Amino acid sequence: MLTSDQSIVEYKGGRAFPDCLTQGTHRHYTDYATRMLSVYQDGIGQPRYQLHRQIEAIFTDEPDCPVRRIQAFCKLLDDAGDYQTDPSGEATKLRLKIFSMAAQFHPLVAQPDRLFESGENDIKARIAETLGQSWEMIEQTLYSDVLDYQRLERFEGYANPAALLSRYNVAQIQACLYKAEQMTVWASEDFKTILRYAKLARLLHEIERVDASTYRLVFSGPASVLNETRRYGVSFARFLPALLACRRWRMTASLKTPWKQPVQLALSDKDGFTSHLPPPEMFDSSVEQSFCEKFGNQRDGWTLIREGDILHHQQKTFVPDFTFCHADGTKVLMEIVGFWTPEYLAGRRQTLRLFRDHKIILAVPEKSLRDGAAIGDNILVYKSALKLTSLMEILERFRRDYNN
């Protein structure tokens, strides 16, 4: 991600507009991106400061490129590469040894004369001979602990110039979110993915159902309570790429500004930003996919909805894989356990107890059951695929209980 010093954002009418390169206004930036990638692809072995100077040179005649934008490009390119480092402190030891050896010839001059007899190149050659290395090899490690002098060892890069420009746009939004105190997301799909990544980013959340297919998720947390906005804003920034990879959502974030006026950042899946993360899979397992295809959209008065509900209790959330809705109003949720561990199953049992007021079917693989294990009325055991006959029996049992 970018640093705050590389953030470019404009505030107008109570809204924040991060710097964004568009195909219309900045079409010519595709050529710049091609040249920037070439600099790094051909720059293996060069120190960081030289690479940055070459990037700066690309934009010498570009009137529409502030310094912060160039710095942001350098940061994103650096992040896509690996640089030589010195974790053991060998560079410091080498400098001490070389400077001590050179001190006896002080001062060193480029062109020796009668007054100053010690030529720089001659002394370098003498020191290199003493150490048994060429001066070029010595020079490569002499300042490897200094950021600007670290040399590029590998450059993974970006898939194409458009990917670099896209990553820049997202990175500017992330940097804008460093100032965020709260984020609200309205989601109609991919609830499970959104919540999973929100938890990974350590975002506390409140959930409210807006309509039959939309939930409002308000993300805040302990860091905002402690007024540590910058630190918590980084969590929002880390969460953003996962949100961008999802479908059917919109988001607003409340930003803290120096003049303490409320400012909002607004985004949605319609804005065209792309994530470097892959989109969430439609199904978490082949068992889910196979079942969904066999059941169809409707069967015997039941309508199947994928991830149609979010159950929540304080900071505990549960997004079942499927929701079954009958025409008479009966609603049943189902979670399919695919890959499992004893800890995972124990957690799911705790979830069932927490949300025992809801009708939940837990589909469990036969291999996960211990010999003699009691199978409750809401447990559907399967081998490699779910049997619709057994499922329909449980659904109808729930429906009878609902109507009685």
The last residue of one of the domains, among 101, 116, 149, is 149
Nearest to 177 by CA among 242, 253, 243, 249: 253
Same domain, 10 and 142: no
- Residue 38 counted as domain residue: yes
Q: What is the mean pLDDT of residues 5-11?
A: 95
> Which of 199-203, 240-244, 374-378 is the least confident region?
374-378
- Is the residue at 27 inside a domain? yes
224 and 175 belong to one structural domain: yes
Q: Is the peptide bond before 18 cis (omega within 30 degrees of 0)?
A: no
More confident residue, 160 or 210: 160
Give the range among 57-66, 173-182, 339-348, 361-370 with minimum mean pLDDT: 339-348
* 19 or 354, greater pLDDT: 19
Whether the Cβ atoms of residue 331 and residue 305 lie closer than 8 Å to each other: no
Instruction: Name the pTM for this structure.
Output: 0.75
Q: Kindly tell me if the per-residue pLDDT of 177 is higher than 70.
A: yes
Are 112 and 140 in the same domain? yes
Q: How many domains does the chain have?
A: 3
3-state helix, strand, coil in the chain (%, to 5): 40, 20, 35
In terms of domains, do 393 and 318 share one? Answer: yes
Is residue 137 one of the residues assigned to a domain?
yes
Q: What is the arithmetic mean of pLDDT over 15-32?
A: 96
Spatial contact of 127 and 102, defined as CB atoms under 8 Å apart: yes
Q: Is residue 277 part of a domain?
A: no
Enclosing domain of residue 115: 90-149
Average pLDDT of the residues of the chain: 87
Residues 166 and 299 reside in one and the same domain: no
> Are both 138 and 194 inside the same structural domain?
no
| Per-residue DSSP letter, 339 | S
Cα separation of 310 and 357, whole Å? 14
- CATH number of the domain encompassing residue 323: 3.40.1350
Residue 276 lies in a domain: no
More confident residue, 293 or 279: 293
Going by the DSSP 8-state scheme, the letter that residue 115 receives in this structure is S
Q: Is the pLDDT of residue 404 over 70?
A: no
Please tell me whether residues 227 and 329 are part of one structural domain. Answer: no
Same domain, yes or no: 47 and 187:
yes
- What pLDDT is attached to residue 371? 53
Asked if 66 and 172 sit in the same domain, the reply is: yes
Q: How many residues does the chain have?
A: 404
Query: Average pLDDT of 231-241?
Result: 85
Residues 238 and 164 both lie in one domain: yes
Residues 171 and 39 in one domain: yes
Q: Which residue has the higher pLDDT, 289 or 32?
A: 32
Q: Quick check: is 387 in a domain?
A: yes
| Long-range pairs, 295-301, Cβ under 8 A, ≥24 | 295/388, 295/391, 299/388, 299/392, 300/392, 301/326, 301/327, 301/328
Same-domain pairing of 163 and 236: yes
